[in-house]
Chain A
Amino acid sequence: MTREEVFERLNKVFREVFDDTEIVVGEKTTSNDIEDWDSFEHINLVVAVEEEFSFKIPMGRVVTMENVGEMVDIILELGK
């Protein structure tokens, strides 16, 4: 799985969770860039990402994740 492939699949997940077909996420995207991305939606986002890439993000990694780029790092390391 390349970094580009991960971004492509992540984009799909973001669009589903936030029900917005215009979203495009990049390395530096954070919750400030997406209007509905609050702490409640963050939970659903994590669940959806875990579902898409068939793995579970350990708590220690979720809490330190700062932007979408870091999320991609974790997925490349642990995801399928």
Chain B
Amino acid sequence: MIEELQYPFDPKYIISKKKSIKKKLLSQNPNTIEKKIAILGGETTQNIKLILELFLLNYGISPIFYESEYNQWFEDGMFPNEELVSFEPDIIYICTCIRNITEFPTISDDMEAVNGKRNQVYSKFEGVWENLRNTYQCPIIQNNFEYPFYRLMGNKDASDCHGRVNFVTMLNCMFYQYAQNHDNFYICDVNYLSASYGLEKWSDPYYWHMYKYAVAVPAIPYLSFNVANIMKSIYGKNKKAFNLDLDNTLWGGIVGDDGADNIEIGQETPLAQTYSEFQEYLKLHKQLGVLLTINSKNEEDNALSGLARPDSVLHKEDFVNIKANWNPKSHNLLETAQEMMLLPESFVFVDDNPAERAIIAGQVEGAAVPEIEEVEHYIQCIDKSGFFEVTVLSEDDLKRTEMYQKNAQRTQLQASFADYEDYLQSLEMKGEIREFASVYMSRIAQLTNKSNQFNLTTRRYTQAEIEEIAKNRDYLTLYGKLSDKFGDNGVVSVVIGKLAENHHKELHIKLWLMSCRVLKRDMELAMMDELIERAKAASVQKVYGYYYPTAKNVMVKDFYALLGFTKLSEDEKGNITWLFEIPDTYEKKQHVIKVNTNNEYKEMEI
């Protein structure tokens, strides 16, 4: 992560220094994932591409680009294109603009003619999307339209069907309709970006007539940053939690000195209202599955007394982890991460004190540390940083805070058992382990992109790829769901095996991952039992497992050994190949989870 690319960045600095910034990025972060990105442009895209590259590198994604010739988005998208086919894009970004609308309504058009023109523009785009989906099966990012920079009828341009403002607004709604009905299709909201930047400057015709840029060159970093945020979200690189200071961050004043009665929160003063609005903003994130934690230098009692005020928007139960003590904040953050089984880089640290921010920025690698300034601008600074850019909302996201709180209850229960297996039995766990089912495709893809620690090969898949694999008979797939008496954890484990014929039938495990929230629950053993049972049914005799080391997955280095695999080889990079020969009588490894009981019951009923 480099400072120059953190929001709020200096766009002109990025434009003029992009070469040296790129050098710096390349020397800094060797652990990147490579992605092939096709940009199909309706305007010049050179700078958009070069600056997108910087932001992606900063997110740990190293892009390889295909760039269409000037204004060839339609031709490249609609017709057979050998170069693009052999490029095999991972993502396609269609960078079009209002200048690509070739026919607008004229005042003499009747309603039918206007609708006809709109449908004509729309169907041109829809045709491209459909063709790209079928040909490349990869995520598509599509710009919506910015408003026109002039209004022939003035205000009426917005409401009258002949107005260009109206035409563009309705057209954008048709784009959104398509986005709502199609997975793997994302709108890049240029309309909002240009409004936020200032349409007058964004659409400065100078840049169109000089260079065929529909977006003013100084605004390009904002567009590229926005696109990079969508892409990093698709590849599971969003942040997951807030780590929040209290005094002068969540409320005004120092609760330890001023007392809970005298801090600024609630509706009594402008400052109190501002802090309340910020708390409200944070609380809304819980709906997205973003977790809230506290990291405050305070006596715990004082900290809690601030949250206990009836007019505080946030209360104790909104937080999944509270650290109010006098330890260094870097220490608290690392401990919180460990307790929640998250990586420290998944946190956004929010603190009004620049000295504390500097400590976190220096000590906790990868954690985001927004440079917030005045309280009335906290929200804008955080919101535009795109930490939690949503591309897919799974049911899991909606329940995440609750799940972490249930985990805390489990930990309490565990303390009351001397024997760990007794504790596991007492959880009354039920597992559902089956081949990929359509309702879980988005969650499965999300897990392959988010799981870093319990992940043997760290292969990333898009939803489209997961759906392809599910259909392919050469693959054996499993998802695992786990629930217990405290609640449902949802889908937490994924295994993909590829069948091969080589004297005997073999199974090669391409992917094995598990969410860390169910570590030490024997779920991995249940997955193994189910995998072997299905492999046996497919007459497989040998199962090959692979471990590819990354900076984050050392916890599963010897996972296959624990399951009874033998080590075949290890290369100089630490890549290990494991073998398990299925015995005639395979003894099940786990006894604490009841697997697939619910559904068997249902099947009997039918």
Binding site for B on A (CB under 8 A): 13, 16-19, 39-40, 43-44, 47-48, 51, 59, 62-63
Contact = CB atoms under 8 A, between A and B. Distances in A.
B485 to A, nearest CB: 62
Contacts of A62: 210
Contacts of B211: 39, 43
Interface stretch (B9-17, B281-289, B415-423): B9-17
Nearest to B206: A59
Contacts, number: 38
B20 interface: yes
B15 A44 contact: yes
Contacts of B47: 40, 43-44
Nearest to B20: A19
Contacts of A18: 19
Contact of B218 (A16, A19, A39, A47): A47
B503 interface: no
A40 B16 contact: no
B16 A47 contact: yes
A59 B23 CA distance: 32
B209 interface: yes
Given A40-B46, A43-B47, A47-B218, A59 B209 contact: yes
Contacts of B223: none
What are the 4 closest A-B residue pairs judged by CB atoms, nearest first?
A: A19-B19, A48-B16, A51-B12, A40-B46
A16 B17 contact: yes
B432 to A, nearest CB: 54
A51 B46 contact: no
Nearest to A62: B210
A18 B16 CA distance: 9
A34 to B, nearest CB: 13
Contact of B15 (A19, A39, A47, A59): A47
Nearest to A49: B16
B94 to A, nearest CB: 21
Given A18-B19, A43-B217, 12 more contacts: A16-B16, A19-B19, A39-B211, A40-B47, A43-B213, A44-B18, A44-B47, A47-B15, A47-B218, A48-B16, A59-B210, A63-B210
Contact of A17 (B16, B23, B209): B16
Contacts of A40: 46-47
Contacts of A63: 210
Contacts of B206: 59
18 contacts: A16-B16, A16-B17, A19-B19, A19-B20, A39-B211, A40-B46, A43-B210, A43-B211, A43-B213, A43-B217, A47-B12, A47-B15, A47-B217, A47-B218, A48-B12, A48-B16, A51-B16, A59-B206
